Amino acid sequence: MAAAIALADAEGLSAVSMRAVATALDTTAGSLYRYLSSRDDLLDLMTDHAVGELRPYPQRQGDWLDQLQALAQRQLDLHRRHRWLGELIQRPTSAGPETLDWYDHCLGVLSDVPAPTTAKFEAIALMTGVVVLFSRTQTSTAQPFAALDPARHPHLAAALANPGQPPQDDLFGRALRALLTGLLGERRQEPVAEGVHAPDRAVSHRGQAG
């Protein structure tokens, strides 16, 4: 797993082939199957190990929004360190122990927030989504807008021609706080109607963490 992570850090996820990992370990591809049931297994291990690097979780201070923001910042650092993580956590595989711990910690931070469980899961998933997006924003200076016709795409051309305006301070933090506040209610109270209803069906969620 360590060899695979080193490979992915250096040359990207596609470089993590069974043969490449085996070569790094001075063995052969087939031998790896003594310890792994499949390549997906290896990717799961990589993912959960990376999520483990989120420790130590930031100290609990401030309200839940401050705490979640601190967690998100740590996620962002992690994703910048391991640029392959964003792709892996989107797979619908089952969560490893570190991922479970992280989810539990996030839910703990939100334990006093009067919002439906559904909203909390969505909020955590969206927080990760924001992290992944921002972690990619800097690394890819790609220009997906090659040659465009200013007549057909006036707004796009204008926006690209005039990159002006200073980028807002801490766009990441702004987006995150807006999203979390909107999903989980105002910072202090204004609780969402929490009436007692017959329990609904369990919400579906994907193992998207880290």
Partner DNA sequence: CTAAACTGCGAACGTCGTTTGCAGTTTACA
Partner DNA sequence: TGTAAACTGCAAACGACGTTCGCAGTTTAG
Task: Confirm if 99 and 44 have CB atoms less than 8 A apart.
Answer: no
Q: Is the dihedral of CA 111, 115, 121, 124 positive or negative?
A: negative
Considering only residues 152 to 191 of the shown chain, the ones binding a copy of itself according to CB under 8 A are: 152-156, 158-160, 162-168, 171, 174-175, 177-179, 181-183
Burial of 210 (0-12, 13-18, 19+ CB in 10 A): buried
Residue type, 52: G
C-alpha closest to that of 39 among 30, 26, 52 = 30
Nearer to DNA, 21 or 65 (CB): 21
The footprint of a copy of itself on residues 100-159 (CB under 8 A) is: 100-101, 103-105, 107-108, 111, 115-122, 125-126, 129-130, 132-133, 136-138, 140-146, 148, 152-156, 158-159
Q: Which does 187 bind (CB under 5 to 8 A by kind): DNA, a copy of itself, none?
A: none
Question: Using CA atoms, how far apart are residues 117 and 107, in angstroms rounded to an integer?
Answer: 9
The residue within the footprint of a copy of itself, chosen from 56, 94, 188, 190 (CB under 8 A), is 94
29 contributes a contact to DNA by CB under 7 A = yes
CB of 116 to a copy of itself, least distance (A): 4
Q: Which stretch binds DNA (CB under 7 A): 34-42, 72-80, 97-105, 188-196?
A: 34-42
Minimum distance of a copy of itself from residue 10's CB (angstroms): 19
Residue 19 beta carbon to DNA: minimum distance, rounded to whole angstroms: 4
What is the nearest approach in angstroms of DNA to the Cβ of residue 8? 12
Q: Which of 1, 3, 39, 136 binds DNA (CB under 7 A)?
A: 39
What is the phi/psi pair of residue 176, to 5°? -65, -50
Helix axes 39-52, 97-109, angle to 10 degrees: 40
Half-sphere exposure at residue 2, Cβ-oriented, CA atoms within 13 angstroms: 1
